[in-house]
Amino acid sequence: MSLWYALWDFLPLEMLHWDFMKNALLALLLMAPLFGLLSTMIVTGRMSFFSDALGHSAFTGIAIGAICGLAAPTWAAVGFSVVFALLFSYVRSRSNQAADTLIGVFSSSAVALGIFVATLGGGSFTKYNKYLIGDILSVTPGEIGMLALVLAAVLVFWTLYANRLTLTAIHPQLASSRGIPVGLSQTLFVTAIAVVVTLSISSVGLLILNSLLVLPAAAARNIARNLRQYHGFSVLFALAAGIAGLTVSYYSGCSAGAAISLILALIFAVTFCLRKVRA
Amino acid sequence: MKLDIHGGSCGHSCCLRVENLSVRIGADPILRDVNLHVHCGELVALIGPNGAGKSTFLKAVLGQREYEGVIAFSEPGQRSKKPRIGYVPQSPAFDPSDPVSVADLFACCMSKRPAFLGLGKAMRQKVLECLERVHGEDLIDKRVGTLSGGELQRVLLALALEPMPNILILDEPLSGVDVEGMETLMDMLDEIRKTYDLSILMTTHDFSMLPRYADQVVLIDRTVLIQGKPEAVLNSAEFSRAFHMKGGSL
């Protein structure tokens, strides 16, 4: 970290003379490729609402962990989210109901359970607000280290499974006929999303998390003609919005998460207007 | 459920032998007591009214549906390994907004290298060779969601032929394809069948092509009503009952 801090001291960028800004920039440089990659599969697999529901379930896990007196409620949240994701996968594979209906059932149940546990015995809910809104500017070097580990794990997973996950997402029947274990692929993917979302939420908050998990890929789809462009644009948009949002936040004093989300929305609007250029 | 690999007992060399097949969803019987032999190198058309269980039958053969009875595969002179099944799914299932090119689709199915890193030269050449079998080299960079019905069927067919399967299964390959496209596709299937001595099982609602291309037609409605040469089945009382009385269309 000291090398990273020293690097920016040499550059004439006022905003990067502050350690909290250097931390936030490094966190974003790690998060952007991570979420840019994941978002491609989330959007292709029509799971945008699912990642949102997972964020809420993570918050419930944190509330349960805190009430149980755990020193690190984040790990309780990871456990809760993974159980939530696996249970959802199981019910989805056994039910005729539409996926968005089932996500609604799971999401509202998880939120209700979280609020119930958090307010049990007259407890206050406000201490959990940081998980909902989050603040990338308060990210710590320890949390950045964890993000780096998560990014490395996702890159390995992606290199090994991207083809199978893509085929499962675009045509499960075709994937199955090619010998791909569709159920296992879907379960691995939702578990990976559950772990990534939960480990990231305590440092960056639900708002930025969800916008980074959906908007980069949604914008990339407007103009990409193949998988390489899709992934490339998605990561590029996430990186550009992250850096631009942090800069806007520094000079205007607004929430960095909100600025990043709005810039991503703007990129979506621009690519939407350019979508005709795609073959 | 029993899956074994050995020869048929109908006097022909059977690539697919289905005996006493039943499929249920919950307590509802979808298929019952289905018996069917597909001989090597034959094109067999499975027909029946909507809801007759044609797709369920294909899913059972593909191993995607629990069943009771026997589904057995064999290759002439061989007694080994699980068969390779080439499958062409019903077509209108690709999202038009998916940024997945034809080359990407092949790479996802055939390559270990992640397709999002792009195709190497060797892989691109291999995809072109696969597409050449269906005269579709010019489709390689098109997005799968933007292909016409006929183009998509040709691409899916090329994909199903790599690696060359023991039996090719097509689910409604003619739906969403115009008349000219149908003829092109059926000519192509005929050519492939003869070139590679491939057995083909397909479901269809279009009966006009059957006398020219099918060796055997099987009419099912929960069970096999009649099977035989195309003309015999299409002129049978069972065929009239199954379609005319149920409001089916010829």
Three-state secondary structure of A124-182: CCHHHHHHHHCCHHHCCHHHHHHHHHHHHHHHHHHHHHHHHHHHHHHCHHHHHHCCCCH
B211 in any annotated domain: yes
Q: Which of A220-229, B7-16, B68-77, B223-232 has the lowest mean pLDDT?
A: B7-16
The answer to the question of residue B213 being in a domain is yes
> Does a structural domain hold residue B135?
no
* Cβ-Cβ contacts under 8 Å, A40 against chain B: 116
Question: What's the pLDDT at A98?
Answer: 84
Question: Inter-chain contact B109–A178, Cβ cutoff 8 Å?
Answer: yes
Distance (Å) of CA A8 to CA A16, A23, A252, B153, B231: 6, 11, 21, 56, 82
Instruction: Establish if B34 touches chain A: CB-CB under 8 angstroms.
Output: no
Interchain contact, A224 vs B99, CB within 8 Å: yes
Q: For residue B130, tell me if it sits in a domain.
A: no
Name the residue type at position A220: A
Q: Is residue B203 part of a domain?
A: yes
Q: Residue range B169-193: average pLDDT?
A: 87
Residue A71 banded pLDDT, cuts 50, 70, 90: low
What average pLDDT does the segment A225-244 reach? 95
CA of A41: which chain B residue's CA is closest? B98
For residue B131, tell me if it sits in a domain. Answer: no
Chain centroid to CA A113: 22
Kindly state whether A187 is in contact with chain B, defined as any CB-CB distance less than 8 angstroms: no
**Which SS3 state, helix, strand or coil, does residue A254 take?**
coil
Judged by CB atoms closer than 8 Å, whether chains meet at A228 and B114 is answered as: no
Q: How many CA atoms lie within 13 A of A266 on its CB side?
A: 11
Cβ distance A174 to B146 less than 8 Å, yes or no, reads no
Q: What is the pLDDT of residues B84-128, one digit of tens each?
A: 888 888 765 688 889 999 999 999 999 889 999 988 899 999 999
pLDDT for A2-52, tens place per residue? 777 777 777 767 777 788 888 889 998 998 888 999 999 999 988 888 888
ipTM associated with this complex: 0.82
Confidence of residue A77 (pLDDT cuts 50, 70, 90): confident
**How many independent structural domains does chain B possess?**
1
The pTM assigned to this predicted structure is: 0.81
pLDDT of residue B77: 53
Closest CA to B178 of B149, B152, B145: B149
Query: Is B64 buried (19+), middle (13-18) or exposed (0-12) by CB count in 10 A?
Result: middle
Hey, is the C-beta of B104 within 8 angstroms of any chain A C-beta?
yes
In a domain, B195, yes or no: yes
Q: Which residue range forms the structural domain that includes residue B74?
A: 8-91+178-243
In-domain check, residue B115: no
Tell me which chain A residue has its CA closest to the CA of residue B26. A94
How far apart (Å, rounded) are the C-alpha atoms in residues B16 and B76?
11
The pLDDT value given to residue B31: 92
Rounded Cα gap, residues B55 and B76, in angstroms: 27
Tens digit of pLDDT for each residue in A115-169? 888 787 776 667 666 666 677 888 888 888 988 998 899 899 989 999 999 999 8
For residues A44 and A163, the answer to whether their CB atoms sit within 8 Å is no
Domain containing B14 — which CATH number? Answer: 3.40.50.300
Q: What is the DSSP string of A1-35?
A: -HHHHHHHHTS--GGGGSHHHHHHHHHHHHHHHHH
pLDDT at B12: 56
Please report, for residues A101, A125, A168, A201, B88, the alpha-carbon distance to residue A171 in angstroms, rounded to integers and kept in the order given.
21, 43, 6, 31, 11
pLDDT digits (tens, 9 = 90+) for B7-63: 345 555 667 888 889 998 877 889 999 998 888 889 999 999 988 899 899 989 888
The confidence score (pLDDT) of residue B80 equals 43
- What is the rounded CA–CA span in Å between residue A226 and residue A217? 13
Closest among B144, B36, B43 to B98, alpha carbons compared: B144
Torsion of CA B218, B219, B224, B225, to 10 degrees: -130
d(CA A139, CA A143): 6
For the cut 70, the answer to whether the pLDDT of residue B218 exceeds it is yes
